[in-house]
């Protein structure tokens, strides 16, 4: 049962790292624990921590705590895989070895670079057009969206936290955008920036934080909301600094 509890924490970690709301993580871990024979499940989740106590039929209590590292980012493919696994186990619990292999398969599921880069460029280009930019503005914003994907892949792992990454990324992209506008005055700086910023703005995190607060997970919701506002503030500061440096 200790090994099963460890795998439940692994599933909770995958859910939390890939964009799931707190209530989903708590419910998934609780349902799977009950399916594997626990008489009671007590799950406490905040932004970067999971604490689970499993009470067995004989009265024994098992408790494990997991400190969550950097979020891996929103990945609905992994979320769906975790949800599908939890539903399978709720209907008919898998043997421990099979459960371990399924969790590892989800964890090692490769990310399609083509899908990430293409989706990011399509989203940024679409928002640039939506907010009134022209075809040239769209192309510039799409190029910088691809640059951002490179920064997320190589720069984010060495940054202390998401706030520092957003500040550095916004500064670098802001300098590049302002440089393009200086070289080509016909470009609209505001349209490019507002389209590009939609790629990094923590919209899902803010939505999840408000939902957590509304359903009663006040601590985790407040923590995530505060963190999201810091992310957004870092983005704004990076762009403002780039505009101040270049004088555009």
pTM above 0.85, yes or no: no
**Would you state the pLDDT for residue 114?**
86
Structural domain boundaries in the chain: 2-107, 113-246
Residue with more model confidence, 204 or 49 = 49
pLDDT, mean of residues 227-248: 89
pLDDT of amino acid 71: 62
With cut-offs at 50, 70 and 90, classify the pLDDT of residue 197: confident
117-162 pLDDT tens trace: 898 899 999 999 999 888 999 999 999 999 998 888 888 878 778 8
Q: Does the pLDDT at position 72 exceed 60?
A: no
Q: Look at residue 240 in the predicted model and tell me its pLDDT.
A: 92
Q: How confident is the model at residue 17 (pLDDT cuts 50, 70, 90)?
A: confident
Q: Give residue 29's pLDDT band: very low, low, confident or very high (50, 70, 90).
A: very high
Q: In which band, very low, low, confident or very high, does the pLDDT at 107 lie, cut at 50, 70 and 90?
A: confident
Q: Give the pLDDT confidence score for residue 113 in this predicted structure.
A: 81
Burial (CB < 10 A; 0-12, 13-18, 19+), residue 121, is: buried
Residue 207 has pLDDT above 90, yes or no: no
């Amino acid at each position: 049962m200790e090994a099963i509890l460890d795998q439940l924490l692994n599933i909770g970690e995958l859910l939390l790292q890939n964009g799931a709301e707190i209530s989903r993580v708590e419910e998934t871990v609780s349902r799977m624990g009950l399916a594997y024979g626990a008489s009671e499940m007590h799950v406490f989740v905040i932004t970067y921590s999971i604490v689970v106590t499993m009470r067995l039929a004989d009265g024994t209590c098992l408790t494990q705590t997991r400190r969550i590292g950097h979020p891996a980012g929103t990945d609905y493919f992994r979320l769906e895989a975790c949800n599908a696994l939890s539903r399978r186990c709720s209907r008919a619990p898998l043997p421990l070895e099979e459960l371990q292999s399924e969790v590892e398969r989800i964890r090692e599921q490769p990310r399609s670079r083509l899908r990430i880069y293409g989706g990011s460029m399509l989203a940024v280009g679409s928002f640039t057009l939506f907010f009134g930019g022209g075809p040239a503005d769209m192309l510039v914003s799409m190029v910088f969206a691809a640059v951002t994907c490179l920064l997320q892949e190589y720069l984010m792992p060495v940054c202390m936290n998401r706030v520092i990454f957003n500040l550095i990324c916004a500064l670098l992209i802001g300098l590049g955008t302002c440089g393009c506008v200086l070289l080509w005055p016909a470009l609209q700086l505001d349209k490019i920036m507002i389209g590009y910023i939609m790629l990094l703005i923590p919209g899902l995190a803010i939505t999840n934080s408000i939902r957590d607060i509304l359903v009663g997970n006040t601590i985790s919701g407040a923590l995530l909301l505060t963190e999201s506002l810091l992310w957004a503030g870092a983005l704004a500061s990076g762009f403002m600094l780039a505009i101040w440096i270049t004088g555009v």
